Amino acid sequence: MAIERPTRPAARATGVGELFQLLRDGAPRTRAELASTTGQARSTIAARVELLLAAGLVSATGEAQSTGGRPPATFAFSPEVRVVLAVDLGATHARVALTDLASNVLAVAETAIRMDLGPTHVLGLVCALGDELLAEAGRERSSLVSIGVGIPGPVEFSAGRPINPPIMPGWDGADVPGIVHEHFAVPVLVDNDVNLMALGEHRSSWPDIDDLLFVKVATGIGAGIISDGSLRRGAKGSAGDIGHIAVDGAPAVPCRCGNTGCLEAVAGSEAIAAALAEEGIEVTGSAEIVALVRGGDRAAARAMRRAGRDVGTVLAACVSMVNPSMIVVGGGLAEAGEQLLAGIREVVYKRSLPLATHDLRLVASVAGTDAGILGASALAVDHVLSPQALDERLG
Amino acid sequence: MAIERPTRPAARATGVGELFQLLRDGAPRTRAELASTTGQARSTIAARVELLLAAGLVSATGEAQSTGGRPPATFAFSPEVRVVLAVDLGATHARVALTDLASNVLAVAETAIRMDLGPTHVLGLVCALGDELLAEAGRERSSLVSIGVGIPGPVEFSAGRPINPPIMPGWDGADVPGIVHEHFAVPVLVDNDVNLMALGEHRSSWPDIDDLLFVKVATGIGAGIISDGSLRRGAKGSAGDIGHIAVDGAPAVPCRCGNTGCLEAVAGSEAIAAALAEEGIEVTGSAEIVALVRGGDRAAARAMRRAGRDVGTVLAACVSMVNPSMIVVGGGLAEAGEQLLAGIREVVYKRSLPLATHDLRLVASVAGTDAGILGASALAVDHVLSPQALDERLG
């Protein structure tokens, strides 16, 4: 039996998009240096640098040391000229930011939304907010190059469409890019909110960690997987969907998915609220639970720790499966701090193999509530700066 | 909070290695076509094509249509000139093959080994077998460009060293590449056997499936993960190590890892043999169990189906986690056919979310006992044909 030739294209883009990748690290380079690195003709390089200058992606940064005669000009990536909109949609709120191409936040706003009013209504609000942010930051509409949107449900990434999202009635199969497009004529990228939180946390705080698992613990529980440095979405975009994994040893609590004993059903905020209700404590939502834990309530601390152990049971299997070197815990319940992390650590370090846990770090999210918009920004930026997109736009 | 610049190098190799990637698809091209695709000077291309011809990686394939004057020569990848050794080490046997750079098997041999005699002894045997295979195929030693080795335990991939391999006493931290190097002075790549089975199965039978999970079910149970088209090893090379995940609802059978209820302890061949022993049937090893099942023994079929359900319970979690579009089941117990697969399917389709199972296929390994050597061959070939390795060797 022989192995077929690789079917992925061997030919690389060698146009303006590829040239830009050389400049993306921000270091200034002369035309001569670019010609020598690429092996391409000086005239070809000069023409492509002009395209990048005109697009506002590269600027002249000064002059290199002269070896005699007029010193040659240097060029570098200028991430501050163009902007993207970063949208983080939750069940009841939207957080929208305007960032530059280095994901520096230029303006940010949050607003209450009702997802059940449907995509046209919600995305209309988001676009109006985008216009306000552009005005606030003093940027022209023409400087906007792309939009990233995170939504709280499964997404078919290539099409940008939600698929059977359980908490978003009216959104199944909605053409999110198409609706946003009617307002802003730029590329629109859509992904699951937890994937974007993972991407945002990774890029902003741990860019050198190639294998990272981000876990969101709130009403819903989900994960985003960074493997070999990139976000992995799986075949249908549902990778990291750990909220409905059965928890070994947990009670057979019915879950809204139809199965029993799912992680979300035994360790999400509703499960914690139900446990506290049995002790006569009425709470609603992650924030109230976190406030109780922080206020020193023992029953709440116990419930949180138990939830941590359930999350840890599932994460132990995930650690065996994908072998990350870091687990980052975020989401509303993570704000409770050590009680949740301690429960998770307890089980993960006990149940996973030594090789997988030897150098494993388990930490709370650094980006916190900004993880989602940072990830949406990174998604939007990565798209417009990719060789393919640049070749198409400028080449 | 801003996002740092990407830290991965933006600069691409643009030398002879990169040129070869264009030719790797096997299609014949003229020097002029290569110059036009890369934007590089005709003289640069001509010199690099000479290097590739001299290295035996490319050959002149004929002449293109002339547009007047002498028709230009065409060149293409010639995978049949150079060879690699592909080594698949098991607990008690070694399978070694000589393949060309398209992983066509030119000669193959299998021999009994005792891993407990240590790396120097075992790898000495393997190298001697390599010499015999070269002679059998009528190839010079100088045509050998690299060696791929699969071993039945965890491997620190970058160093090629086994790490605490439970069934390989004397191999912990052994410098496998160094030992093989004393006999064959070519690059030696080492990986876990299941990773290589996944790679071999993927390349030989399902090259267009980007997200594939390969599961080996035998005395040991493990998985190899293909995600976005590439094998993912995780931070320490232990990704896919699912044999010690706790099985939800399984009895607390003690496992050799120190925990209880691990998948391997409840569904590996030893667990099945123990279950059959209770019914008065004495068997040793996967092959005897498979023979019983194939012979129509009801107790064996029941035990196999139960093992399938336990494997399915863990795989359901894996499906939620990595969202493959295909699960391939291989290893000794998979030879039993439908009994094992039916048990796995039963649980996976029940316990995973619809989005993840909608287009999920669950099939038996096609490569079978060749999966390991095909993967070892692919690993060795990928290494020597990479842009970096070619630039280093020829550039």
pLDDT over 50 at A14, yes or no = yes
Instruction: Give contacts of A359 with chain B, Cβ < 8 Å.
Output: 235-236
* Stated length of chain A: 395
Q: Which of A117-121, A164-168, A381-385, B140-144 has the lowest mean pLDDT?
A: A164-168
What pLDDT digit, counting tens, does each position of B255-276 carry? 988 889 999 999 999 999 999 9
Q: Same domain for B94 and B173? A: yes
Asked if the structure places residue B145 within a domain, the reply is yes
Query: Is the Cα dihedral B182, B188, B191, B196 positive or negative?
Result: negative
In the predicted model, what is the mean pLDDT of residues A162-183?
A: 92
Asked if the structure places residue A4 within a domain, the reply is no
Q: Chain B window 176-235: which residues touch A at a Cβ cutoff of 8 Å? A: 200, 203-204, 207-208, 210-211, 223, 225, 227-230, 232-235
Q: Chain A window 234-253: which residues touch B at a Cβ cutoff of 8 Å? A: 234-242, 244-249
- Strand residue runs (E) in chain B: 29-30, 58-63, 73-77, 83-89, 93-100, 105-112, 144-151, 155-156, 161-162, 188-192, 212-217, 221-227, 230-232, 326-330, 361-364
**Residues of chain B above pLDDT 70, percent:** 96
Mutate which of A322, A383, A390 to disrupt the B interface (most B C-beta within 10 Å)?
Answer: A322
Distance from CA of A278 to the nearest CA of B (A): 26
**What pLDDT, on a 0 to 100 scale, did the predictor assign at position A3?**
55
Query: Is the Cα dihedral A26, A31, A32, A36 positive or negative?
Result: positive
pLDDT over 80 at A341, yes or no = yes
Asked if the structure places residue B1 within a domain, the reply is no
Of A235, A352, A356, nearest to B211 by CB-CB distance is A235
pLDDT over 60 at A17, yes or no = yes
**Domain-ending residue, one of A46, A77, A108:** A77
Mutate which of B3, B29, B310 to disrupt the A interface (most A C-beta within 10 Å)?
Answer: B3
What pLDDT digit, counting tens, does each position of B363-389 carry? 999 999 999 999 999 999 999 999 989
* Chain-chain contact of A323 with B257 (C-beta, under 8 angstroms): no
Of A1, A11, A234, nearest to B370 by CB-CB distance is A1
**What pLDDT, on a 0 to 100 scale, did the predictor assign at position B289?**
95
Cβ(A32)–Cβ(A41) under 8 Å? no
Q: Chain B window 357-376: which residues touch A at a Cβ cutoff of 8 Å? A: 358-360, 367, 370, 374
pLDDT over 80 at B146, yes or no = yes
**Domain-ending residue, one of A58, A77, A96:** A77
Instruction: Give contacts of A323 with chain B, Cβ < 8 Å.
Output: 233-241
Q: Which of A357-361, A363-367, B373-377 has the lowest mean pLDDT?
A: A357-361
Q: Same domain for A205 and A193? A: no
Q: Same domain for B172 and B224? A: no
What pLDDT digit, counting tens, does each position of A102-118 carry? 999 999 999 999 999 99
**What pLDDT, on a 0 to 100 scale, did the predictor assign at position B250?**
86
Instruction: Give contacts of B246 with chain A, Cβ < 8 Å.
Output: 248, 313, 316-317, 351
pLDDT over 80 at A65, yes or no = no
In the predicted model, what is the mean pLDDT of residues B273-298?
A: 94
pLDDT over 60 at B281, yes or no = yes
Q: Is A135 on the interface with B (CB under 8 A)?
A: no
* Chain-chain contact of B227 with A232 (C-beta, under 8 angstroms): yes
Asked if the structure places residue A287 within a domain, the reply is yes
**What pLDDT, on a 0 to 100 scale, did the predictor assign at position A251?**
87
Q: What is the ipTM of this complex?
A: 0.90
Q: Same domain for B249 and B193? A: no
**What pLDDT, on a 0 to 100 scale, did the predictor assign at position B39?**
80
Q: Total structural domains in chain A? A: 3
**What pLDDT, on a 0 to 100 scale, did the predictor assign at position A5?**
44
Q: Same domain for B44 and B173? A: no
Instruction: Give contacts of A249 with chain B, Cβ < 8 Å.
Output: 248
Q: Same domain for B68 and B212? A: no
Q: Same domain for B215 and B340? A: yes
Domain around A381 = 83-197+372-394
* Stated length of chain B: 395
Q: Same domain for A88 and A72? A: no
Q: Same domain for A185 and A208? A: no
**What pLDDT, on a 0 to 100 scale, did the predictor assign at position B357?**
86
Mutate which of B78, B191, B322, B327 to disrupt the A interface (most A C-beta within 10 Å)?
Answer: B322
Q: Same domain for B235 and B348? A: yes
**Domain-ending residue, one of A51, A77, A103:** A77
CATH number of residue B67's parent domain? 1.10.10.10
Q: For chain A, what is the HEC assignment? A: CCCCCCCCCCCCCCCHHHHHHHHCCCCCEEHHHHHHHHCECHHHHHHHHHHHHHCCCEEEEEECCCCCCCCCEEEEECCCCCEEEEEEECCCEEEEEEEECCCCEEEEEEEECCHHHCHHHHHHHHHHHHHHHHHHHCCCHHHEEEEEEEECCCEECCCCEECCCCCCCCCCCCCHHHHHHCCCCCCEEEEEHHHHHHHHHHHHHCCCCCCEEEEEECCCEEEEEEECCEEECCCCCCCCCHHHCECCCCCCCECCCCCECEHHHHHCHHHHHHHHHHCCCCCCHHHHHHHHHHCCCHHHHHHHHHHHHHHHHHHHHHHHHHCCCEEEEECHHHHHCHHHHHHHHHHHHHHCCHHHHCCCEEEECCCHHHHHHHHHHHHHHHHHHCHHHHHHHHC
Q: Same domain for B313 and B378? A: no
Is residue B98 helix, strand or coil? strand
Q: Is A8 on the interface with B (CB under 8 A)?
A: yes
What pLDDT digit, counting tens, does each position of B204-237 carry? 999 999 999 999 999 899 999 999 999 999 998 9
How far apart are alpha carbons A324 and A198 in whole angstroms? 13
Q: Same domain for A108 and A244? A: no
Q: Which of residues A167 and A140 earns the better pLDDT score?
A: A140
pLDDT over 90 at A62, yes or no = no
Asked if the structure places residue B89 within a domain, the reply is yes
Asked if the structure places residue A2 within a domain, the reply is no
Asked if the structure places residue B224 within a domain, the reply is yes
Band of residue B177 on the pLDDT scale cut at 50, 70, 90: very high
Cβ(B352)–Cβ(A259) under 8 Å? no
CATH number of residue B242's parent domain? 3.30.420.40
Q: Is B43 on the interface with A (CB under 8 A)?
A: no
Comparing alpha-carbon positions, the chain A residue that sits nearest to B101 is A3
Asked if the structure places residue A11 within a domain, the reply is no
How far apart are alpha carbons A150 and A127 in whole angstroms? 14
Of B2, B38, B200, nearest to A14 by CB-CB distance is B38
